[in-house]
Chains A and B, each alone.
Chain A
Amino acid sequence: MAANLLPALGGVALFLAAGFALTELFPALRRLSLPHRLAYAYLLGVATVAGGLYTLSHLLDIPLRRPAIFGLALAVAAAGLLIRLLRAGGRRPPGVRSSGAGDWQRGRVGGGSAHEGAEQGDRTPGGRRAGLRRLLPLVFPAVTLAVTLGVLADAVSEPVRDWDGRMTWSAQARYLRADGTVNASALQRARWYISHPEYPLLLPVAQVAALEATGAGDDDPTFRALYAAFLPALLLLIHDAARRWAGRAAADLAGLAAAAVPFFAYGGEGGAVSAYSDLPLACFYGGGLILLLRSRLRPFDGIAAGLLLAAAVLTKNEGTPLTLLALMAAGLVIVRAWLAARRRGAVPLSRTAHRRAARLIATALVAALALALLIDWRTGIPNREDENYAEFVDLSDFWPGVVTRIPSVGSVMLRQMTAWEHWGVFWWALPLVLLAGWKGWTGRRRAVSLPLLLALAGPLAVAWGAYSVHWYPEDLARVTWNRLLLQGAVPLFVLLALALRRLLPQKALLSKPPQNLPAGLL
């Protein structure tokens, strides 16, 4: 393992370093605690370095080789470092702190969270509750670290052996690497046997970049660390958003729940130990969504959300509808604010709403560029060995399958959700928590819970649509349902955290009752 560890970590470090420097550009990200910032850094690193290589290779024929890979990673890192130097040279507003591990230790994660001040005073009571209060914040990082080590250990020591990894993602990466371009001849000539040649290739490009950068061979399993590293990113994204909107105790519990779901980490067909693109999509989609739903962001931060959603578009076919949905969810927040302002007879759009709208436009523009790239790249590829829903599906095909297939497909979905090896008893516990804690979604939290519900509905709607028209819906549900649930993991677990917040003894775990939260929370 030791021999494999360096190339594996080298591949991850390539994206992490570039992305970490890039977070300097975005005020919303550079103020995060170190672990949360690292999560966004990794996602931004993959989005910009692999996305940049995708663009350069397709538009300018720049080979997917070391000069381009290191050049781009260094350029991204240099941009971030430059901003840091400029900021260090300029005046720093009082009270703006740099990120650091200390924030995590102190429990002051989440930067501008309204709970920050609340939790500082929450240290005095003794007894069992105080013990729990001290213990819980340590459990989530410890479990995240342990699960991350487990999936990384698997990644560096086992060859890829899952279905889609070998059928599509890793196979495509080999063709790309050999030709040094995303316009590989195997994709562009119809006679060659390729599965899903029009699938977006962000992750295969990332795989090529990692292998080229470390000089590893095609059989070297170390590229799998790229996929494994998305697991801690997912857990930290959930924790960051849940901490912000539901408080730390609920965030710790929601994060622990996500870490405990067997499918996310060890699901052989879609989890972190596989080479499927569903976990990366869950991270890009969830990360972009969370950034869009935060209120205290500058319009420029919209570019960070745009980069993450652009990566979602370039990661999987589902990325495009999910990105549209994330934009709609953010638009819903603006519309609700506008309606509320009108009801109050206030100025139609407040400054915050203007900033939200500017941010949304910036995000949409970046995501639209990625979609344009994807469409242009696909024009040179004859599609084959693919379901190609767009070609054969007509709106009328959804009826009556969308209703009549509920019993047969629904039973397959239920079987998947109640499979102990995939979910444990998660889907037995979740409805009870949501039913008992649904009030956690109401009041001020409605501004985030409604968009989150809409965002969660996205992957489920994609699933239901596909199951309604597919010729073998039960088989399709059997192999995709868990993965589609994974794609909606961030909104799902943040909603869980909001519900848990209502169930937890607030005095024991939070010093400030939720109804007293300041207006700037969202």
Chain B
Amino acid sequence: MRFRLSVPQAVALAAFGLFLATSLPVAMGTSANRVLQALRRAGESPDAARVRVFGAPYVETIDTIRRTIPPDGVYALVDGEPVEEGAALWVRHDLAPRKAVFLGKTGKLPGVKRLRSRVPARARWVVIAYTNGRPPDMIERFRFLEELEARRGR
């Protein structure tokens, strides 16, 4: 018995074949590339991998903050970017399990009086987060509030 395809069936199979023919080599190539990259990085420590991906200045600053604020410590977090790019989220992830109180974006921070009441007494440090590999700033709370007050002319 001969198997005959109608035109729509042949077109459908051809389209499916085209998908496999164009995507499978890409999938194989990407996989081979990832395996080769991983082999090239054999023996790389998790810290070295972080430096490679996020940059040395960022990782060194995160490690400094980790040494300064103990794992069960708390801090105040400010997003230093004008638009939402996840800056505060990445820093919060990297500093976890230290707990953060989020104060807002630098340009939209509330008044100093209100900020004072929001920052817990245990939070000695304010961390300002940025994106694109720029390391976060760590400022003592009283200095941060003073500078903010001075900038706002009060």
Give A residues with C-beta under 8 Å from B: 1-4, 143, 146-147, 149-151, 153-154, 156-159, 161, 163, 166-167, 170-171, 174-175, 177-179, 185-186, 191-193, 195, 217-221, 253, 256-257, 259-262, 265-266, 424-426, 428-429, 432-433, 435-437, 500, 502-503, 505-508
Contacts and interface: CB of A to CB of B under 8 A. Distances in A.
A166 B16 CA distance: 36
A178 B97 contact: yes
B121 interface: no
Given A157-B37, A167-B93, A219-B46, A503 B26 contact: no
A432 B12 contact: yes
A154 B34 contact: yes
A191 B120 contact: yes
B39 A1 contact: yes
Interface residues on B, range: 35 or more
Interface in B1-51: 1, 3, 5-6, 8-9, 11-13, 15-16, 18-20, 22-24, 26-28, 30-35, 37-39, 41-47, 49-50
Interface of B: 1, 3, 5-6, 8-9, 11-13, 15-16, 18-20, 22-24, 26-28, 30-35, 37-39, 41-47, 49-50, 53-54, 71-72, 74, 77, 86, 88-90, 92-93, 96-97, 99-102, 120
Given A191-B120, A424-B26, A219 B50 contact: yes
Contacts of B45: 3
Nearest to B25: A260
A433 B90 CA distance: 43
A506 B46 CA distance: 52
A499 to B, nearest CB: 8
Given A1-B42, A191-B101, A191-B120, A424 B93 contact: no
Contact of A147 (B27, B46, B96, B97): B27
Given A435-B12, A500-B16, 6 more contacts: A143-B28, A167-B86, A171-B92, A219-B50, A221-B49, A433-B12
A163 B126 CA distance: 23
Contacts of B38: 1, 153-154, 156-157
A368 B26 CA distance: 42
B46 A192 contact: no
A257 B19 contact: yes
Contacts of A157: 37-38, 41, 44, 49
A178 B71 contact: yes
B53 A161 contact: yes
Which secondary structure dominates where chain A touches chain B?
Answer: helix
A426 B77 contact: no
A260 B24 contact: yes
B66 to A, nearest CB: 10
Contacts of A171: 89, 92-93, 96
Contacts of B72: 178
A177 B19 CA distance: 43
Contact of B15 (A146, A163, A433): A433
Nearest to A192: B99
A425 B101 contact: no
Given A158-B49, A503-B13, A426 B27 contact: no
A425 B12 CA distance: 12
Contacts of A219: 46-47, 50
A503 to B, nearest CB: 5
A221 B46 contact: yes
Contacts of B42: 1-3
8 contacts: A1-B43, A150-B35, A265-B31, A432-B15, A433-B12, A436-B9, A503-B5, A503-B12
